[in-house]
Structure 1
Amino acid sequence: MSRRLEWGLFLARLILGGTMLAHGIQKFKMLDLVVNMFTENFGLPSFFAYATAIVETVAGLALILGLFVQYSAALLGLVMVGAIVTVKFSIGFFGNGQMPGYELDLALLGLAIVLTLGGSRLFAVSSLLKSNKK
């Protein structure tokens, strides 16, 4: 893989990981409100609120560290698909003035797809662990 491409994947990993980690932490800080929003506003079981907060936090941190990059990105991609399909699509691409649309979710999904397909080994803990096993 070219060095320039690997740097691009590394930056994508940090951007997606940092964004999702921040969103996960935010969900945990106001978990009661998030659970209520998932159940009352979106008609989803409360389990999805907890699962989303956990996946965003853990997978976001894993991406930043470079652990299980492709699996973490795939999980975050599923979260983005879930957000788009269950909540954001009916609001539209740009939103409705009260709630943002799915443009950010779609961009994050794009990063997740790129990382799921391509991985990212530059400065990744997984790469260090693999090289120590040799």
Structure 2
Amino acid sequence: MLHGLAKYQEGIGVVQDRFLNYNIPYADYVAMGVMFVEIIGGLFMILGFTTRFIAILFSIIMVGAIVYVKFELGFLQGYEIDVLLLAMSLSLLVSGSKFIALDNFFVEKKKKK
């Protein structure tokens, strides 16, 4: 969520230019999408709302970050954190949200009907 807010504060033009420099396809649209997913998706993750769907989106972003930005830097100085975040997203994709989460509240409502 904080990375998305940092992108928002920089301005979409700056983020789009950075994505263009990384040779990311459709950089204008991808920059807006990444910023939106990082902000709204981060909030949804905190609340435990649509956890699995957001985990898929975060996984896609992490794969893109590794492939287009960090891979050339190597593992230890580049993409080790991104691999960790990818693993966490995949873990949430498999397990879903637990305990106190809005997903569980809505699932309970559906089961009662």
TM-score (norm 1): 0.75
Alpha carbon RMSD of aligned pairs, Å? 1.2
State the Cα distance separating 1:131 from its structure 2 match: 2.0
Name the SS of the counterpart of 2:98 in structure 1: coil
Query: Which position in structure 1 is the counterpart of 2:61?
Result: 79
Q: Which whole-Å CA distance do the structure 2 matches of 1:63 and 1:73 have between them?
A: 8
State the Cα distance separating 1:130 from its structure 2 match: 2.3
Name the SS of the counterpart of 1:123 in structure 2: coil
- Tell me if 1:36 matches 2:13: no
Question: 1 or 2, which has the higher helix percentage?
Answer: 2
Larger RCO: 1 or 2 (CA < 8 Å, sep 6+): 1
**Letter aligned with residue 85 of structure 2:** L
TM-score (norm 2): 0.88
1:91-130 matched pairs, under 5 angstroms: 91-95=73-77, 101-130=78-107
Unaligned runs of 5+ in 1: 1-20, 96-100
- Tell me if 1:65 matches 2:26: no
Q: Which whole-Å CA distance do the structure 2 matches of 1:76 and 1:104 have between them?
A: 13
Unaligned runs of 5+ in 2: none
